[in-house]
Amino acid sequence: MTGDPLYLDGVDLVDVGIMAVKVIVAFTFLLVATMFMVWFERKLISDMQNRIGPNVAGPWGLLQTFADGVKFFFKEDLRPENADPLVFRLAPYISAVTAFLSFAVVPIGGSFSGGSSGTVTIFGRETYLQVADPPIGILFLLAMSSIAVYGVMLAGWASGSKYPLIGSVRASAQAISYEAALGMATVVVVVLAGTLSTHGIVAAQSGGFTRWFLVSSGIVPFIVFLIAATAELNRPPFDLVEAEQELVGGFHTEYSSIRFALFFLAEFMNVITMSAIMVTLFFGGPAGPIFFGMTWFWPTIWFLLKVLAFLFVFVWFRATLPRLRYDQLMHLGWKLLIPLILFWLMFISLKELRAAYDWNWVVTYGAAVVALAIGASLLVAALRAGDRAYQEELEEV
Amino acid sequence: MGYLNGFKVTFLKLFEERVTTEYPKEKRPKPARFHGRHVLNRYEDGMEKCIGCELCAGVCPAKCIYVRGADNPETAPVSPGERYGYVYEINYLRCIHCDLCVEACPTEAITESKLFEFSFTNRTDAIYTKAELVVDDEGLPQRQPWELWHDGDDLATSGWMRATASSGNPDYQNQISWSGELGYGVRDPEIGQHLSDVRDEADVSEEQYPSGDSRDQH
């Protein structure tokens, strides 16, 4: 857990060069992946709706996003009269930059199996296949996804228009609500891995399928994370932020041209990043069987395949689920996911503590069950009281 | 797990047939009575059918038709009757293709082709005059360079003889009382002309659906 071995023996020009190459490759990869993600989503959702989807620009319509991007560049850049000029211009960049930054800490390759530490050798230097491995690792991801809310919030506020404002208020309320569940699901993984570093988390899952945190944390944190991540990404069925039937386009209603494209880019980039994070946290990152010796090649392929599977799932959600009502969204977040993951977090922590300090397991789990029962009954009572108050309020109206 | 059934539905859709018609490349057949761009028909001897009565202009709800009739020159008559359409203009920026002009025309002079893929770059071009509207010597619509015609579209102008004869007497329905060869076929009789036809169509007896209502006047 000492960070990237690239910096162990001081930093010279070669290290800087490797670093620059990694940044450029990651940046390009993310941009191209986003481009194809948009295509993939449009194609897949049309497949799920008996349609054909984009098929004119390039083979199978692959260049559709590129064509759209070029078109955005040449569109007129409008700014509403009431908009705050500085913040209005700033907001899309906050969204896009945070979306780029969060991908930096995701390990996208390197063999972790058989005792190897996930390093690859480039120009005679050992390094991790990720742009950065800060000790705070996963906290950086949470911080970035929180700052991304500012992009949405400021965009809505600075537009000087009512629908974007309502959209952005919804967005921030939703993101804050679900970030609690998202964060706690992450903490479960952190407790199990014993480290915040994303590289460390992947290393802790090496050694076969059963070591993946999907299995060893019990499947619940993953499901909570998946639902919370969907809400955090403002994707269907939680896309109230841009509920076009109610809010025109949501927070980016007033945006046009390349500024709108930046929001669009950030949105899809976040989908890819969030899929990559889920792979990192619960599916062992680049872990997978390695065939005929190309140790640097297969992990990246496995990683990409896993990410692709999640992208499929996100599109599948969109094709299947109708949008939640706002109170249902809040109900699911606060009354279901947060208590559930809170209980799960305490249970996992207790399990780890018992193993570490060798406590008597009857006493430990007995106390845990009693505590959980008390907590659950209090929670149920509170929910019932809340419902009663709500019903009385309805009757008064 | 009722919640998850929806996922199965959307997943199975992946393997189903696509319903999209890739419009510019392939086109679905147009309905028999499609309302497209108008044509002004002629008799087989070359005479124009239009008699300049302005009924089409009068009935037009969009007020897009302008007609000025004139007396036929005795030496070189344009139409068989006394008068002919001296000026005939349709403004396609206003036309809603309701087909009321076709219904109103007493001589089947104006009918609608199936052409709808035409556009203009200025307002003047949107006004079709007799130069564009009158059919050519073959009785086919003139193809303007800015119109996207497809094979068969001009053969199927809605030059139908009306089911009701021009006298309004259903006994003569389907019988062409004047030359119909420049129209493109005879429309099948619609039910609702004779009550006996309606009864046969719906397979009901006379007691169930007696005569004497307004539909049976002829």
The answer to which of A297-306, B80-89, B176-185 has the lowest mean pLDDT is: B176-185
- 3-class DSSP state of B32: coil
Q: What CA–CA distance (Å, rounded) separates B142 from B147?
A: 10
- Does residue B160 have a pLDDT over 90? no
Model confidence band, residue A312 (pLDDT cutoffs 50, 70, 90): very high
Summarised one tens digit per residue, pLDDT across range A232-258 is 888 888 887 776 677 777 778 888 888
Across B75-84, B114-123, B178-187, least confident range: B178-187
Higher pLDDT among residues A285 and B64, named by residue: B64
Residues A115, A113: Cα–Cα separation, whole Å: 6
Mean per-residue pLDDT for A29-58? 88
Nearest CB neighbour to B18, from listed A50, A319, A321: A50
Residues in chain B: 218
Closest CA to B116 of B23, B36, B22: B36
Distance from the A22 Cα atom to the nearest Cα atom in chain B, whole angstroms:
37
Would you state the pLDDT for residue B66? 94
**Chain B nearest-CA residue for A56:** B22
The pLDDT of residue B181: 40
- Which residues neighbour A105 within 8 Å (Cβ) at sequence distance 6 or greater? A130, A131, A132, A133, A134, A137, A138, A140, A141, A198
CA–CA distance, B95 with B38 (Å, rounded to integer): 10
Please state, for a pLDDT cut of 70, what percent of chain A lies above it: 92
SS3 letters for chain A? CCCCHHHCCCCCHHHHHHHHHHHHHHHHHHHHHHHHHHHHHHHHHHHCCCCCCCCCCCHHHCCHHHHHHHHHHCCCCCCCCCCCHHHHHHHHHHHHHHHHHHHHHCCCCCCCCCCCCCEEEECCEEEECCCCCCCCCHHHHHHHHHHHHHHHHHHHHHCCCHHHHHHHHHHHHHHHHHHHHHHHHHHHHHHHHCCCCHHHHHHHCCCCHHHCHHHHCCCHHHHHHHHHHHHHCCCCCCCHHHCHHHHCCHHHCCCCHHHHHHHHHHHHHHHHHHHHHHHHHHCCCCCCCCCCCCCCCHHHHHHHHHHHHHHHHHHHHHHHCCCCCHHHHHHHHHHHHHHHHHHHHHHHHHHHHHHHHCCCHHHHHHHHHHHHHHHHHHHHHHHHHHHHHHHHHHHHC
| A357 burial level (CB within 10 Å; 0-12, 13-18, 19+) | exposed
- Give B-chain residues touching A51 at CB under 8 angstroms: 18-20
Average pLDDT over residues A111-128: 67
| CB contacts, 8 Å: A316 with chain B | 7, 10-11
Residue A55 CB coordination number (10 Å): 15
Averaged pLDDT, B86-103: 90
From chain A, pick out residues whose CB is under 8 angstroms from the CB of B21.
none
Contact B14 A48 (CB under 8 A): yes
Tell me what the mean pLDDT of segment A115-129 comes to. 68
Region label for B68, one of left (φ > 0), alpha (ψ between -120 and 50) or beta (otherwise) = beta
How many whole angstroms from its chain centre is CA A2?
25
DSSP letters for B43-107: -TTS-B------HHHHH-TT--EEEEEEEPPSSS-SSSSSEEEEEEEEETTT-----HHHHH-TT
How far, in Å, CA of A50 to CA of B16, rounded?
Answer: 7
* Spans of all domains in chain B: 33-159
Q: What is the pLDDT of residue B176?
A: 53
Least confident of A219-233, B81-95, B147-161: B147-161
Which of A132-136, B10-14, B62-66 shows the lowest per-residue confidence on average (mean pLDDT)?
A132-136
Q: B152 or A256: whose pLDDT is higher?
A: A256
- Max Cα distance, chain B (Å): 87
In chain B, which residues have their Cβ closer than 8 Å to the Cβ of A320? 6-7, 9-10
Q: A317: nearest CA in chain B?
A: B7
Per-residue pLDDT at B179: 42
Write the pLDDT tens digit of every residue in A133-181: 788 888 888 888 888 888 888 888 888 888 888 888 888 888 888 888 9
Residues A347-381 have pLDDT tens digits of 888 888 888 888 887 888 888 889 889 988 998 89
Q: Are strands A125-128 and A119-122 parallel, antiparallel or unpaired?
A: antiparallel
Predicted confidence at residue B158, as pLDDT, reads: 53
Nearest residue of chain A to residue B6 (CA atoms): A320
CA distance A316 to chain B (A): 7
Q: Which residues pair with B70 in a beta bridge?
A: B84
Phi, psi of B70 (to 5 degrees): -150, 155
Chain B residue closest in CA terms to A314:
B7
CA distance B156 to B30: 10
The domain made up of B33-159 has a fold known as: Alpha-Beta Plaits (3.30.70)
Nearest beta carbon to residue B19 from set A50, A320, A321: A50
| Interatomic CA distance for residues A153 and A168, integer angstroms | 5
Phi, psi of A320 (to 5 degrees): -100, -45
Provide the shortest C-alpha distance from residue A142 to chain B (in Å). Answer: 30
Euclidean distance between CA atoms B28 and B97, whole angstroms: 20
